[in-house]
């Protein structure tokens, strides 16, 4: 089975064109992965209005209602039910006898693999049907949230993903809902051009039904739709994203909260430029993303939130363990044109080798889908973090999936001063009142997280000592009580540094160049 995403670059009619092409190319079986069955039904109805498909007729099947004709020649005022077609086998027998038609089988896939095991008779019957209708003007669409991996159907089934509504379609849906709400006497509409643009952006990443629900909820809660509805819709979208099971919406972090690491800042600024319309029209390709390699506590996850602020894009953290939800998660990230964060990337892709033994290859297929998506997409900036990069294979980190591999080493003395400055200021203390140089010297080998822990601990000490003013000596006392990770894992750190040198990773800390490019030097 091959995977292709039905693209909708500007309008809903593009989807109709894509389906039309599949039908005309004589694909006998097409599996459409989508939660939006009603939206797909409208697309199919639009396809049947094309002159070349008017004579075929559109038929819809479900286990509860059997096969019904819903459009096309011979149809009266209502759907025409075809008797004795409720059974998954009987509907295939009926299609095999047809001369022409477009047949949509809703939620058919579970019958192919009941209880996770392949149903050999039904799979064989579906293969025979594909061969029988290949030369006839018949196309069968298998529609549902997902389609199982059935080796026997690899060559017969074309798998496509119905992408989420884009800006054009969301704007159309918004206009329809606003027109409907305008007739309601208790609903006030305050939607100017700017508010309409903000509403469209807030609704991106939702399905059609979710868009309708979000607008209805906002209208009820605020007795209307206007600027005040935008935060309500964003909250609803965060809940929807969270319920996807694979994504978490994270708030951006101020650039001032990242102490030091000048190279990372520069790379993020470069990335922001590559996504501008001017850069694209000039021919500059958007940056794919960064793989941040380094010790725990060196600010890799913080950098993802900083990137959200610099690029002005929403940050969506991906849970690699939610295998069944990753396709939808990637569709949401693509629609939002956001930043996709992947923490502990090496663990997420680490199950590739053992997948065939442990889960019948499900993990391997999920990882392959993610890596292929990373290679092909151009709208999402990916930031992955890794602690033990020795588990990563070269093909998982090559150019095309990441723009750069960045080694996040322990902070330099100047960086440690900057980190102390950030954490003291965040807690309402004036950094100028402290001997930052002395603190930096005392924390040689400390990570950013360990510096933060020292500041937080010293604040507690000062509070318990009569809530007096915090001084440098309090922080130094806490520093001396911490044994940094760099002492405990000295050999592991050197291994990671060696890996970074061999892979010519950019150093997030030092700004040194070799041969005209920023490279690691130790």
DSSP 245-283: SSEEEE----GGGS-S-HHHHHHHHHHHHHTSHHHHHHT
Which residues have C-beta within 8 Å of that of residue 406, sequence separation ≥ 6? 263, 264, 267, 290, 291, 292, 293, 505, 506, 507, 508
Nearest partner of 271 among 330, 225, 331, 311, judged by Cα: 311
- Proportion of the chain above pLDDT 70, given as a percent: 90
Mean pLDDT score, 111-135:
93
* Residue 517, token pair as written in the block: 């490019």
**What is the torsion angle, in degrees rounded to the nearest 10, for the CA atoms of residue 381, residue 383, residue 389 and residue 391?**
-70
Find the range with the poorest average confidence among 94-98, 110-114, 369-373: 369-373
Terminal CA-CA length for the chain: 48
Per-residue model confidence (pLDDT) at position 476 = 96
CB atoms within 10 A of CB 356: 12
Per-residue model confidence (pLDDT) at position 32 = 93
pLDDT tens digits for 393-446? Answer: 777 777 778 888 888 888 889 989 999 999 999 999 999 999 999 999 999 999
Contact 269, 382 (CB under 8 A): no
391 pLDDT higher than 80: no
Per-residue model confidence (pLDDT) at position 386 = 86
Which helix (H) or strand (E) segment holds residue 118: the answer is: none
* Residue 196, token pair as written in the block: 């309409």
SS3 of residue 139 by DSSP: strand
Q: Binning pLDDT at 50, 70 and 90, where does residue 323 land?
A: low
Mean pLDDT score, 162-174:
87
Per-residue model confidence (pLDDT) at position 482 = 93
CB atoms within 10 A of CB 16: 19
Per-residue model confidence (pLDDT) at position 295 = 78
Buried b (16+ CB within 10 A) or exposed e, 184-209: eeebeeebeeebeebbbbbbbbbbbe
Nearest partner of 368 among 427, 327, 317, 319, judged by Cα: 327
> What angle do helix axes 413-426 and 448-464 make, rounded to 10 degrees?
40
CB atoms within 10 A of CB 517: 8
Mean pLDDT score, 17-33:
93
Mean pLDDT score, 76-103:
90
Find the range with the poorest average confidence among 5-9, 162-166, 454-458: 5-9
71 pLDDT higher than 80: yes
Per-residue model confidence (pLDDT) at position 322 = 65
Q: List the beta bridge partners of residue 381.
A: 339
Measured distance CA(448)–CA(411) in Å, rounded:
7
CB atoms within 10 A of CB 471: 15
- Give residue for tokens 């009142």: 433
216 pLDDT higher than 80: yes
Mean pLDDT score, 360-364:
66
Mean pLDDT score, 457-472:
94
Mean pLDDT score, 301-319:
88
Q: List the beta bridge partners of residue 390.
A: none
CATH code at 413-444+448-483: 1.10.8.60
Per-residue model confidence (pLDDT) at position 357 = 47
291 pLDDT higher than 60: yes
pLDDT tens digits for 491-503? Answer: 888 888 887 777 6
CATH topology of domain 255-409: Rossmann fold (3.40.50)
Which CATH superfamily does the domain covering 2-162 fall into? P-loop containing nucleotide triphosphate hydrolases (3.40.50.300)
314 pLDDT higher than 80: yes
Contact 143, 105 (CB under 8 A): yes
222 pLDDT higher than 50: yes
Segment 495-501 long-range contacts (CB within 8 Å, at least 24 positions apart): 495/390, 496/293, 496/294, 496/295, 496/388, 496/389, 496/390, 496/407, 497/407, 497/409, 497/522, 499/293, 499/389, 499/390, 500/293, 500/389, 500/405, 500/407
Mean pLDDT of the chain: 85
- Proportion of the chain above pLDDT 90, given as a percent: 39
Find the range with the poorest average confidence among 132-136, 360-364, 500-504: 360-364
* Residue 473, token pair as written in the block: 């000596």
Mean pLDDT score, 51-61:
93
Alpha-carbon Rg for the chain in angstroms: 28
Mean pLDDT score, 268-276:
91
């Amino acid at each position: 089975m091959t995977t292709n995403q039905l693209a909708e670059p500007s309008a809903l009619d593009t989807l109709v064109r894509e389906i039309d092409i599949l039908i005309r190319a004589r694909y006998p079986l097409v599996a459409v992965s989508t939660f939006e069955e009603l939206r797909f039904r409208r697309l199919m109805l639009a396809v049947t209005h094309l002159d070349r498909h008017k004579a075929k007729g559109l038929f819809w099947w479900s286990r509860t209602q059997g096969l019904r004709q819903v459009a096309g020649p011979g149809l009266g005022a209502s759907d025409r039910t075809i008797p004795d077609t409720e059974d998954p086998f009987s509907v295939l027998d009926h299609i095999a006898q047809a001369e022409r038609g477009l047949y949509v089988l809703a939620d058919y896939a579970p019958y192919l693999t009941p209880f996770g095991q392949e149903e050999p008779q039904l799979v064989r019957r579906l293969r025979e049907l594909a061969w029988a209708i290949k030369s006839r003007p018949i196309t069968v669409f298998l529609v549902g949230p997902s389609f199982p991996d059935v080796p026997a159907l690899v060559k017969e089934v074309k798998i496509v993903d119905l992408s989420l509504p884009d800006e054009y379609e969301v704007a159309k849906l918004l206009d329809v809902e606003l027109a409907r709400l305008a007739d309601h006497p208790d609903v006030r509409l305050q939607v100017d051009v700017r508010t309409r643009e903000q509403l469209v952006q807030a609704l991106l990443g939702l399905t059609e039904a979710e868009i309708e629900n979000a607008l209805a909820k906002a209208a009820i809660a605020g007795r209307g739709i206007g600027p005040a509805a935008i935060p309500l819709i964003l909250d609803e979208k965060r809940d929807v994203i969270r319920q996807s099971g694979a994504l978490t919406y994270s708030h951006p972090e101020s650039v001032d909260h990242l102490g030091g690491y000048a190279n990372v800042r520069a790379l993020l600024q470069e990335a922001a430029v590559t996504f501008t319309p001017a850069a694209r029209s000039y021919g500059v390709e958007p940056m794919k993303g960064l793989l941040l390699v380094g010790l725990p506590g060196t600010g890799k996850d913080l950098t993802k939130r900083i990137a959200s602020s610099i690029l002005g894009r929403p940050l969506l953290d991906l849970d690699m363990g939610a295998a069944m939800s990753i396709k939808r998660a990637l569709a949401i990230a693509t629609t939002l044109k956001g930043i996709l964060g992947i923490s502990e990337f090496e663990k997420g892709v680490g199950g590739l080798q053992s997948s065939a033994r442990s889960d019948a290859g499900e993990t391997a297929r999920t990882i392959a889908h993610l890596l292929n998506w990373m290679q092909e997409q151009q709208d999402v900036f990916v930031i992955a973090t890794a602690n033990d990069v020795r588990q990563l294979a070269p093909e998982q980190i090559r150019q095309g999936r990441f723009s750069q591999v960045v080694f996040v080493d322990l902070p330099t003395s100047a960086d440690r001063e900057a980190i102390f400055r950030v954490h003291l200021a965040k807690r309402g203390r004036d950094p100028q009142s402290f001997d930052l140089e002395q603190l930096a010297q005392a924390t040689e080998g400390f990570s950013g997280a360990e510096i933060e822990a020292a500041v937080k601990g010293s604040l507690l000490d000062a509070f318990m000592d009569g809530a007096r003013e915090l001084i440098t000596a309090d922080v130094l006392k806490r520093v001396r009580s911490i044994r940094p990770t760099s002492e405990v894992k000295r050999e592991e750190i050197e291994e990671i540094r060696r890996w970074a040198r061999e892979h010519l990773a950019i150093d997030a800390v030092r700004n040194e160049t070799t041969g005209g490019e920023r490279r690691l030097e130790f």
